[in-house]
């Protein structure tokens, strides 16, 4: 019997020739990640357990991206704690300040994650790295501590659901619209405990940035991981960045799937997830006269160069609507620099956008764009739960960068056609 790409990676990391869904395995991990809100709990456990060192100084990664630049004293204390730990233990990949980006944009960009890896992170959007053909999943701080010390973690091998995507992409439509469409179709627990595998000609035609957006939101369908077969685009992306040699796995022809879902992307338009679940998905054309107070273009979901380009193309020569705040957040320093060279930052500034340093800030209602009671935002982020971006009675609509940019100009949720 054949294996899926997820099963093959897990088998290879647990010294097995074969694994099947439901088995519990003890796997070696390639990268263990935590951030400024999850690492403090991990480090407390690390001390409590009496561990003396991390399993590998090159494989433990800390990215201080959530409440940074430090939003208050307690956040600053947390960062200090992680910084001191990193110095003491010789952590190679410690990112803060001007070298820091949003973790799930930063790690692939810096070649810290490569195809074939097993990556666990104390952040639910760790599943983003599946876009490279790695097995990557989010866990809590305690599991992360265990892996930091031992280099291993237990997994239950997940069943896989295959999404076979074909057809030509329509203008403006991106990976964000596809993943919102899928979550709308299967629900926020539609892939619970499962691997979501994306394949087909429409996926081959997608950029790496768009694939990362899709893998990023696998967790919003409850999935353990999202994963893509590495192809020429993957290898071209990885080649110039990889810090370790990649290992390419792909699913066997006779691999077993819990379900295969076919999607014709040529029928796909621009999607918006309405409050207060990512599965509450509608076509943008069906949302009439929904006035907004804020727009956020950024995050680990949609803060990459392709996203900024799409927003800049729409915002060029335009002005943000009166009474609307539009916050643009390039996800990493490299993306910021590229956006600067390509003139996007100037376009945003001319349009009247707020240009933020890389941070998760507003996505989780942390800082840098928190909503007041009754306020409404369109965001290219990943969650629109009750109170996600601020007051429990504020609202978040999730979209791709095109709808977000058009809405910022119109002051209400808007299709980008005609801008």
Q: Which stretches of the chain bind another protein, using CB under 8 A?
A: 24, 37-38, 40-41, 44-45, 48-51, 66-67, 71-72, 74-75, 78, 121-124, 126, 138-143, 145-146, 149-150, 154, 188-189, 192-193, 219, 222, 224, 277, 364-366, 370, 383, 385-388, 392
**Angstrom distances, CA of residue 400 to CA of 5, 272, 297, 301, 304:** 28, 8, 9, 9, 12
**Measured from the CB of residue 45, what is the shortest distance to another protein in angstroms?**
5
Cα 85 versus chain centre, distance: 26
Nearer to another protein, 380 or 384 (CB): 384
Point out which residues pair with 32 in neighbouring strands. Answer: 60, 120
Nearer to another protein, 213 or 234 (CB): 213
**Measured from the CB of residue 13, what is the shortest distance to another protein in angstroms?**
18
CB atoms closer than 10 angstroms to residue 389: 26
**Measured from the CB of residue 149, what is the shortest distance to another protein in angstroms?**
7
Nearer to another protein, 145 or 380 (CB): 145
CB atoms closer than 10 angstroms to residue 20: 13
Token digits for 245?
A: 């040699």
Nearer to another protein, 139 or 321 (CB): 139
Nearer to another protein, 351 or 364 (CB): 364
**Measured from the CB of residue 270, what is the shortest distance to another protein in angstroms?**
25
Nearer to another protein, 200 or 275 (CB): 275
Compute the distance between CA of residue 112 and CA of residue 383 in angstroms, rounded to an integer.
26
**Measured from the CB of residue 29, what is the shortest distance to another protein in angstroms?**
15
* Cβ atoms of 142 and 45 closer than 8 Å: yes
Strand order in the sheet with 93-95: 93-95, 60-63, 31-35, 118-121, 135-138
**Measured from the CB of residue 259, what is the shortest distance to another protein in angstroms?**
17
Strand, helix or coil at 159? coil
Nearer to another protein, 125 or 304 (CB): 125
Nearer to another protein, 86 or 234 (CB): 86
Nearer to another protein, 138 or 416 (CB): 138
Cα dihedral 135→136→141→144 (10° resolution): 40
**Measured from the CB of residue 216, what is the shortest distance to another protein in angstroms?**
13
Nearer to another protein, 146 or 397 (CB): 146
**Measured from the CB of residue 349, what is the shortest distance to another protein in angstroms?**
29
**Measured from the CB of residue 392, what is the shortest distance to another protein in angstroms?**
4
**Measured from the CB of residue 72, what is the shortest distance to another protein in angstroms?**
7
């Amino acid at each position: 019997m054949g294996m899926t790409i997820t099963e093959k990676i897990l088998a290879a990391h647990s010294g097995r020739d074969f694994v099947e869904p439901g088995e519990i395995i003890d796997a070696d991990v390639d990268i263990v990640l935590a951030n400024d809100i999850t690492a403090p709990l991990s480090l407390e456990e690390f001390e409590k357990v009496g561990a003396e060192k991390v399993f590998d100084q090159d494989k433990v990664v800390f990215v201080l991206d959530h409440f940074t630049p430090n939003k208050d004293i307690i956040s600053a204390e947390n960062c200090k704690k992680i910084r001191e730990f990193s110095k003491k233990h010789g952590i190679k990949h410690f990112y803060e300040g001007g070298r820091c980006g949003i973790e799930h944009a930063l790690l692939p960009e810096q070649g810290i994650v490569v195809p074939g890896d097993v990556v666990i992170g104390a952040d639910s959007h760790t599943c983003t790295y599946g876009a490279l053909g790695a097995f990557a999943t989010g866990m809590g701080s305690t599991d992360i501590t265990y892996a930091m010390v031992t280099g291993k973690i237990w997994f239950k091998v997940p069943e896989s659901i295959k999404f076979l995507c074909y057809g030509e992409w329509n203008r403006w439509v991106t990976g964000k619209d596809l993943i919102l469409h899928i979550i709308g179709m299967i629900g926020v627990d539609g892939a619970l405990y499962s691997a979501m595998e994306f394949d087909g000609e429409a996926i081959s035609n997608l950029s790496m940035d768009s694939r990362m957006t899709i893998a990023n939101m696998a967790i919003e369908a409850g999935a353990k991981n999202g994963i893509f077969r590495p192809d020429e685009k993957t290898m071209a992306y990885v080649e110039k960045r990889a810090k370790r040699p990649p290992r390419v796995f792909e699913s066997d022809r006779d691999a077993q799937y819990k379900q295969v879902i076919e999607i014709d992307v040529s029928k796909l338009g621009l999607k918006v997830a309405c409050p207060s679940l990512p599965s509450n998905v509608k076509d943008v054309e069906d949302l009439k006269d929904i006035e907004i107070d804020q727009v956020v273009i950024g995050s680990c979901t949609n803060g990459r160069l392709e996203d900024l380009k799409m927003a800049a193309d729409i915002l060029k020569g335009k002005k943000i609507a009166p009474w609307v705040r539009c916050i643009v957040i390039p996800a990493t320093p490299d993306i910021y620099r590229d956006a600067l060279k390509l003139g996007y930052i100037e376009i945003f500034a001319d349009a009247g956008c707020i240009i933020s340093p890389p941070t998760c800030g507003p996505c989780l209602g942390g800082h840098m764009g928190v909503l007041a009671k009754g306020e409404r935002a369109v965001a290219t982020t990943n969650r629109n739960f009750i109170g996600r971006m601020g007051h429990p009675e504020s609202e978040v609509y999730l979209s791709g960068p095109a709808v977000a940019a058009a809405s910022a100009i119109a002051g209400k949720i808007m299709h980008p056609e005609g801008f």
